[in-house]
Amino acid sequence: MVEGPVTDEAVRPAGQVRRARVGRILKAAERLFAANGFEGTTTADIAALAKLPKANVYYYFPTKEKLYLAVLDRILDLWLGEADIWIVPSRGPREALTNYIRAKIDLAREHPEASRIYASELLRGAPHLTGYLHITLRNRVMVLGKVIDGWVAQGLMHPVDPVHLLSCIWAMTQTYADFAVQIAAISGKMTLDDDVFVRATHIVTRMVTAAFVVEAG
Amino acid sequence: MVEGPVTDEAVRPAGQVRRARVGRILKAAERLFAANGFEGTTTADIAALAKLPKANVYYYFPTKEKLYLAVLDRILDLWLGEADIWIVPSRGPREALTNYIRAKIDLAREHPEASRIYASELLRGAPHLTGYLHITLRNRVMVLGKVIDGWVAQGLMHPVDPVHLLSCIWAMTQTYADFAVQIAAISGKMTLDDDVFVRATHIVTRMVTAAFVVEAG
DNA sequence: GTCTATATAGCGATAGAC
DNA sequence: GTCTATCGCTATATAGAC
C-alpha cells in the first residue's frame, strides 16, 4: 500500500519470463499431445521439448491434466474464431459457404496439431468438452442454422438439415489435418503439399454448392 | 504316435476354450482401446471386462502391443470388406456410389468402436499401418480410381480426382462414428438414432452425386 | 493350461536446497 | 522463482504353484 509502482516493477519482468516459459510449455505440450495423446505423453517429454526442468513445468501447471486443459482452451479459441463470420444472411449462400470452407481448410492446414487434439478428445467421448459441445457449439450451430434456413426460405438453397451440412463440412475439412497420413499414402506423397489443399478446397466447395445452392438466374 | 485321434481329441476341446477366450479378450480390448486409447487402457481393465485373470490375458497375448495389433488386424479385415464391390464399371456411377456410401455408413453405425480405433491410429501418424496404407489401401484406391476415370471418360461423371473423392466420402461417413458425440450434442440428442443415419446417407449421397454424376438423358 | 503373487520400471508429483 | 533429488504408485510382465 506504500508505493503503487513497486509491485508493478517487481512483478512485470518476472511476468515476462513467466509468459515466455508458459508459452514454450504450451507449444511443446500441444505438439506432443497431438502426436501421442494424453496418456502417451509424459511430463518429462514436455519439459525436454520445452528445454526446461520437469519441476519447472509443475511450477506453472500444478498437474498434467491442468496443462492439457490449458492446451485445449487455446484450441477452442481457434475453433470459435473467424470462419463463422462468413455465414451471414447478407451474403448469398454460394459466397458464404465458399469462404467458410476455405477458412476451415486453411485452419486444417495451419493448425493440424490442434485439429488432432480436438479429434482425439471427441474420439474419447469428449469428457472435457461437454460444456463446449452442448452449449457453446450448439448455440453456434443454431445461429448458423437460422441463416441457412433463411436462405432456404428465400429459395436460394435447397432444403437441408444444417446439423448434417455442417457436420459434413467439418468432417471433410478436418480430414486433411487429422488423417493427413492416409491421404498422403494413397496419393503416393510423403506429405500434403499446397496442391492438395487447393484441390481439397475446390472439391469440398463443389460438393456443397452443387448439392444445395440453387442456380442463379 | 500310438493312436491318431488321441492328439485331436486332446487338442480340440482345449482349442475351443482358447478360441472362446481369445474372442472375449479381443472384444473387451476393442471396446477399451476405442474408449481410452492404447496407453489409456490397462491389461487389468481388459482382463476384468473379459472376466479373466490378468495373467491369462498374457498367456494368449505375450504383450499388450501384440494384443493391440490383433485387434487392429480384425479391423482392417472389416475395412477391406464388402463396400468396394459396388464400385465396378458395369454399374453406373450413380448406383455404384449410392450403394458404396450406404455400405460405409452402415459400417460406421455397426462398428463405431472399430472406426474409432482406426481413427486413433491415423491421428498418431499410423505407426502400425504403414504397410496397409502404402500398399494395400493404395492399390485399392488405384483400382477404384481406374473405374472412376472410366466413367469420366464415358461422360457419365464430371472430372474428379478419385483420391479426394474417396477421402471426402470416408471423412463424411466415418464422422458419424468417430465424432458421434459432437453430432449428438449439436442435435440436442443423447445418442445417434436411426433417423440420423438415414439422413446422413441421403445428404452424403446427394452431395457426391450432385457434384459429380452427370444427369441422365 | 490356468492363476496367484510379485519383480521391475517408469511416471506423476513434491520436498527442500538455492 | 528455479531446479535437484526422490518419493510413492501404478502398470507391464513373469515366476512358479496348482
Mean pLDDT, 10 residues at a time, chain B of 217 residues: 38 74 97 98 97 96 97 96 94 97 98 98 98 98 98 98 98 98 98 98 98 88
pLDDT score for A13: 58
Q: So what's the pLDDT on residue A10?
A: 42
Residue B112: per-residue pLDDT: 98
CA distance A65 to B87: 46
* Region of A105 on the Ramachandran plot (φ > 0 left; ψ -120 to 50 alpha; else beta): alpha
| Residue closest to B109 by CA, chosen among B78, B137, B80 | B78
Closest nt to residue A65, judged CA to C1': C12
**Tens digit of each residue's pLDDT, chain A (217 residues):** 333 333 333 445 557 889 999 999 999 999 999 999 999 999 999 999 999 999 999 999 999 999 999 999 999 999 998 899 999 999 999 999 999 999 999 999 999 999 999 999 999 999 999 999 999 999 999 999 999 999 999 999 999 999 999 999 999 999 999 999 999 999 999 999 999 999 999 999 999 999 999 987 6
User: Is B89 at the interface with chain A, CB within 8 A?
Assistant: no
A202: cell is 475446390
Pick the closest to residue A123 from B104, B76, B177, B196 (CA basis).
B177
- DSSP per residue over A72-105, as a string? HHHHHHHHTSGGGGG--TTS-HHHHHHHHHHHHH
Q: Does domain A80-212 have CATH number 1.20.1250.20?
A: no
B123 touches chain A (CB under 8 A): yes
Please tell us whether the domain made up of A4-71 is placed in CATH 2.60.40.2300. Answer: no
**What are the beta bridge partners of residue A213?**
A157
What local confidence, expressed as pLDDT, does residue B11 receive?
Answer: 47
Give the nearest chain A residue to B189 (CA atoms). A134
Per domain, the residue ranges of chain A are: 4-71, 80-212
pLDDT at A14: 58
pLDDT, residue B8, reads 38
Question: Who among A38, A130, A207 is closest to B168 (CB)?
Answer: A207
Sign of CA dihedral A117, A118, A121, A122: negative
The CATH number of the domain covering residues in B4-72: 1.10.10.60
The predicted pLDDT at position A16 comes to 85
CA A92/CA B213 separation, integer angstroms: 25
Sign of the Cα pseudo-torsion (B119, B124, B127, B132, in order): positive
Whether the CB of B190 is below 8 Å from some CB of chain A: the reply is no
Distance B129 CA to D16 C1' (A): 38
